[in-house]
Amino acid sequence: MTEAADVVVVGGGPVGAALALALADSGYAPVVLESRDPDVAAGDPRPLALSYGSRLILDRLGVWEGLEPATPIEGIHVSQRGGFGRVVLTAAEAGLPALGYVVHYARLHATLVQALTKRVPRSLNGARVTAVRPGDDAASVAFTLGGSEKTIAAKLVVVADGGTLENLIRVRQVDYRQAAVVTTVVSGMPHRNVAYERFTAGGPLAMLPCGERLALIWTMNSGRAQAFCELPADEFLVRLHEHFGDRLGAFTALGARSVFSLVFKFAREVVSLRTVLIGNAAQTLHPVAGQGFNLGLRDAWELAGEIVRAGRGALGGAAMLAAYRARRRSDRQGGMWFTDSLVRIFSNDIAPLRAARGIGLGLLGCFPPAKDFLVRRMTFGARG
């Protein structure tokens, strides 16, 4: 027997959960299908830099309190190794309480899943989607749960997990041939809630304030990443100091290290008949500048608003989907272009380009309106 639903969300990760929570009190009854066990993310060490705009969304969803105390980012220091030029962005100059906040992915995931369990009764873990078949009036979603095959018909299917329907979604993929070494370090000098983005020839090196420590996301050639993870701790810290510089003194302690491969994936079209892609299903970005999750969260928030505005009669129809696509176009394309451009422009050691980068950073630092524009875009997206 085929069940029915207003909206089916494929993927119960943070973005899919955010969409379901945004719809939970709107009169719609979303069904969330998540293939993984909710505890699978418990050991995920990745830090997330949430923009202040994302904090506002999570607050409206009623989950921000569960993430406290998140570490605020009060300043961002951007520089390049082996070249002049730098820019410093501050929350005070932007008129914001903070430019962003740092939380661990595992904690964010657990907080959202807990809220989902309480507020969205039809949230199914272990539900592996095998097919989505759009139709004129509804889409049919086939999935397995507990060894049984099931089908659910929905006016709208939202795919929020890039891996769930990997073989069914047409995406373009760019392999940067880079990987990120993720860990935490202790510095000789306090971080004072400043985040650092240091561009090196091998890739960007980010330091995020995380409690008393710093969360490190060090991008480098894929072949070197695993070797760096296996270095003795003292040698790793010396190498880190060589790349980062003296701004925080010597690094004195090192946490567990993990490696994550980096690719850029994006769907050329995010809407089709009765179906829409958001979050990692729509775009998976390089971690430079920390735009990926923030962009996906805005996808979820804007889609929830479009669903409510459309009403049940137009739910999942061509007009509603076209309105969502138009609403998200500039923010999505701008976020992807900005992230990809940073990787390509800064991940090299070409002397003329290094000089041009330095001039660009210097000019940006001397021109407050440009700094304000950049901060507003990174904080609130294209509609900010």
**90, part of any domain:** no
pTM of the predicted model as reported, rounded to 2 decimal places? 0.94
> Which domain range does residue 9 map to?
3-72+101-171+264-349
Query: Is 281 domain-assigned?
Result: yes
7 DSSP β-pair partners: 156
Is residue 374 situated within a structural domain?
no
Measured from the Cβ of residue 154, the count of other Cβ atoms closer than 10 Å reads 25
Q: Quote the pLDDT of residue 367.
A: 84
How many domains does the chain contain in total?
A: 1
Q: 284 with 292: CB under 8 angstroms?
A: yes
Residue 96 lies in a domain: no
Residues contacting 376, CB < 8 A, separation 6+? 94, 384
Question: CA nearest 381: which of 344, 321, 327?
Answer: 327
- Does a structural domain hold residue 356? no
Residue 88 lies in a domain: no
Q: Along the 384 residues of the chain, how does pLDDT read in single tens digits?
A: 678 999 999 999 999 999 999 999 888 889 999 998 877 777 888 999 999 999 999 999 999 999 989 999 999 999 888 777 789 999 999 999 999 999 999 999 999 999 999 999 899 999 999 999 999 999 999 999 998 999 999 999 999 986 656 555 678 888 888 999 999 999 999 999 999 999 888 889 999 999 999 999 999 998 899 999 999 999 999 999 999 999 999 999 999 999 999 989 999 899 999 999 999 999 999 998 889 999 999 999 999 999 999 998 999 999 999 999 999 999 999 999 999 888 887 877 677 767 777 787 877 888 888 889 889 999 998 776
CATH at 117: 3.50.50.60
Domain assignment present for 9: yes
Mark out the alpha helices in 147-245 (DSSP H runs). Answer: 222-229, 233-244
